[in-house]
Amino acid sequence: MSEPSEDQASQGDAPITIQRRRSRVHKGEGLWLMSFSDMSLILMSFFVLQLSYSTPNKHKYDNLNSAIKEQKANVDLSAKSVPVENLRTLSDKIRTLIKQKHLEDVAFVTSDIMGLNIEFRDQLIFNPGSSELNPQAKVQVGVVLNAIASAPGDYRLIFEGHTDDLPVGKGKYQSNWELSSARGIALVNTFKARGVTENRMTVHAYAQTKPKVPVKGLSGEALKKARAINRRVVIRLE
Indicate whether 165 pLDDT > 90: yes
Inside any domain, residue 136? yes
Indicate whether 58 pLDDT > 90: no
Rounded to whole angstroms, how far apart are CA atoms 161 and 159? 7
Rounded to whole angstroms, how far apart are CA atoms 64 and 68? 6
Inside any domain, residue 10? no
Q: Which amino acid is at 69?
A: K
pTM, 2 dp: 0.70
Cα dihedral 79, 82, 85, 89 sign: positive
Of 24-38, 111-125, 149-163, 193-207, where does mean pLDDT reach its minimum?
Answer: 24-38
pLDDT at 120: 95
Residue 32 or 75, more confident:
32
Mean pLDDT of 95-123: 91
Each residue of 1-22: pLDDT tens digit? 555 555 555 555 656 665 555 5
Alpha helix segments (H runs only) across 76-170: 87-100, 122-125, 135-140, 142-149
Mean pLDDT of 160-175: 90
Rounded to whole angstroms, how far apart are CA atoms 7 and 182? 109
Each residue of 83-103: pLDDT tens digit? 678 888 899 999 999 999 999
Beta bridge partners of 203: 159
User: How many domains does the structure of the chain reveal?
Assistant: 1
Inside any domain, residue 204? yes
Inside any domain, residue 185? yes
Mean pLDDT of 68-82: 53
Instruction: Write down the mean pLDDT value for the chain.
Output: 82
Rounded to whole angstroms, how far apart are CA atoms 107 and 225? 16
Inside any domain, residue 72? no
Q: In CATH, what number is assigned to the domain containing residue 169?
A: 3.30.1330.60
pLDDT at 47: 76
As separate numbers, helices (DSSP H) first and strands (DSSP E) second, the chain gives 9, 5
Mean pLDDT of 125-132: 88
Exposure of 123 in the CB half-sphere (CA atoms within 13 A): 9
Indicate whether 227 pLDDT > 60: yes
Inside any domain, residue 178? yes
- Residue 91: φ, ψ to 5°: -60, -45
- Residue 83: φ, ψ to 5°: -60, 135
Give the CA angle between residues 135, 141, 143 to the nearest 5°: 120
Indicate whether 144 pLDDT > 90: yes
Rounded to whole angstroms, how far apart are CA atoms 51 and 236? 25
Inside any domain, residue 14? no
Rounded to whole angstroms, how far apart are CA atoms 224 and 27? 81
Inside any domain, residue 69? no
Indicate whether 33 pLDDT > 90: no
- CA distances from residue 38 to 31, 45, 93, 122, 163 in whole angstroms, order as listed: 11, 11, 54, 58, 54
pLDDT at 109: 95
Indicate whether 182 pLDDT > 90: yes
Residue 176's CB is within 10 A of a number of other CB atoms, namely: 23
Mean pLDDT of 59-65: 60
Q: What residues make up the domain containing 230?
A: 87-237
Of the pLDDT bands very low, low, confident and very high (cuts 50, 70, 90), residue 176 is very high
Please, are residues 169 and 176 in contact by the beta-carbon 8 Å criterion? no
